[in-house]
Amino acid sequence: MNYSAALAYLESLGTFGIQLGLKRIEALLAELGNPERRFRSIHVTGTNGKGSTTALLTSILHAAGIRTGMYISPHLVDYPERMTLNGQEISREEFAAMIGKTRLAAEAIQARGMESPTEFEVLTAAAFLWFAEKQVEMAVVEVGLGGLLDSTNVIAPEISVITNVTLEHTDRCGGTVAEIASHKAGIIKTGAPVVTGATGEALTVIEAVAARKYSACSVLNREFFVSDVVIGETEQSFLFSGPAEPPQRYRMRLLGRHQADNAALAIHVCQCLAENEPRLTAAAILSGVAEAHWPGRFEILPGAPTVILDGAHNPDGVRTLRHTLEAVYPERAIVFLFGVLADKDHGEMARRLFHPSDRAIVVEPNSPRAASACEIADEISGYVAAVSVAADIASGLLQAKLWAGPQGIVCVAGSLYMIGDARQLLLK
């Protein structure tokens, strides 16, 4: 199977959509010889911040000299972004080979009466197979959706991480914070510690599940702490303190108060692992945090005007984005290129993101789930100084740059689908 054939096969599976449940992935992995049992793992979920935390953990483990795999979703531009080894994406050739092997396994279980695996299940199985074949020591695995019934929830992690919990995916994970927290807490395994940044009702649910499973639960700002966050235009620093060590200042390229919290989760996880892993030294953790990067998350691109790409795609995410914009560029009006999916609470997103001095250009992301640009423009017109609709992302970027001028700021936000396309155009 070549890369084009692999993409065609994955596209054919897309017709099955999202089907939560573990029977298909368990059968598929069994057919492949259960590769998920051949490496250690850390499992990461949360409403926001799970991708950044996954990237931070991966960077620290790599800095420590640990052979590290990372599995994320979705990708920004291309499928191989989802699978990395020591920070390097899987090659297209290896990706195609893994998909080919997984397809044969999928056809074998279908021949025995099992329904077809979904696209995400095939990708997950292919990633685990690649990790096993590459003799990965530790894989950092990001949940696709929820946790309890997500395809990744077949691993037995050393530690589970739940970044935070807010209302999202209510159609699949429940209509309340407690119900969503219950889904995310589904990644907690008996006897394996859990580290979380959750608060309030969500934390209550997570702690109850952890107690039932005899899993130690460490909570941000209770067992470990972040303070004195200093945000600059290219990096930030913060103090981290844990239960047994004095405060330590860390530096990082990922910007925003929320990224300090994500880093704290990763630091605490690695300090816990260090009890049985001598390579996870204090120096390795410092270096890994400093070197971590995460494309499309407050990513500042060089040039004039300044262009920021941020994958904020829900109300909590855009609120965090606005806070970071105000910290890095205080009292500056922003030109937004904004596009959102129809199933998001775009009214609440607009209320939290835009200021009256801002201007916005609305475009439809390249997704069948995209919200109408004209309808979104009408909805946000009362929040901004000016709004316009662009025919596509390329023309939207051009218009945004013209509005901003050489000294201005353009922020592309609202949908990860759009972020990926915009990034590809801007980095040509």
Give the span between the Cα atoms of 289 and 72, in whole angstroms: 18
The pLDDT tens digits for 89-121 are 999 999 999 999 999 999 999 999 999 999 999
Residue 51 scores a pLDDT above 50: yes
Taking only Cα atoms into account, the Rg of the chain, rounded to an integer number of angstroms, comes to 21
Residue 130 scores a pLDDT above 70: yes
pLDDT reported for residue 20: 72
Decide: residue 329, CB within 10 A, 0-12 exposed, 13-18 middle, 19+ buried: middle
Of 133, 151, 37, nearest to 90 by C-alpha is 133
Residues 6+ apart with CB under 8 A from 154: 22, 25, 26, 29, 36
Query: Stretch 260-287: mean pLDDT, rounded?
Result: 97
* 275 SS3 class: coil
Domains of the chain in sequence order: 3-291 (3.40.1190.10), 299-426 (3.90.190.20)
* 264 SS3 class: helix
Question: Largest alpha-carbon pair distance within the chain?
Answer: 63
Query: Stretch 267-282: mean pLDDT, rounded?
Result: 96
Q: Model's pTM, two decimal places?
A: 0.94
pLDDT > 70 fraction of the chain, expressed in percent and rounded: 97
Residue 166 scores a pLDDT above 90: no
The pLDDT tens digits for 284-313 are 999 999 999 999 999 999 889 999 999 988
Looking at the DSSP bridge assignments, the partners of residue 251 are 237
Alpha-carbon distances, residue 264 vs 96, 237, 293, 397 (angstroms): 36, 12, 15, 35
pLDDT reported for residue 145: 85
H helical segments located in 297-411? 315-328, 346-353, 373-380, 393-404
Structure tokens belonging to residue 306: 């300044």
* Mutual angle of helices 177-184 and 200-212, in 10-degree steps: 40
Residue 170 scores a pLDDT above 50: no
Query: Stretch 370-393: mean pLDDT, rounded?
Result: 95
Instruction: Give the angle 77-98-19 at the CA atoms, nearest 5°.
Output: 70
Q: Which of 30-34, 206-210, 301-305, 392-396 has the lowest mean pLDDT?
A: 301-305
Query: Stretch 265-292: mean pLDDT, rounded?
Result: 97
On whether the CB atoms of residues 158 and 40 are closer than 8 A, the answer is: yes
Residue 362 scores a pLDDT above 90: yes
Q: How confident is the model at residue 168 (pLDDT cuts 50, 70, 90)?
A: low
Q: Which of 28-37, 139-148, 199-208, 388-397 has the lowest mean pLDDT?
A: 139-148
Exposure letters 287-309 (e unless 16+ CB within 10 A, then b): bbbbebebbbbbbbeeeebbbbb
Mean pLDDT of the chain: 94
DSSP 117: P
Residue 49 scores a pLDDT above 60: yes
On whether the CB atoms of residues 410 and 307 are closer than 8 A, the answer is: yes
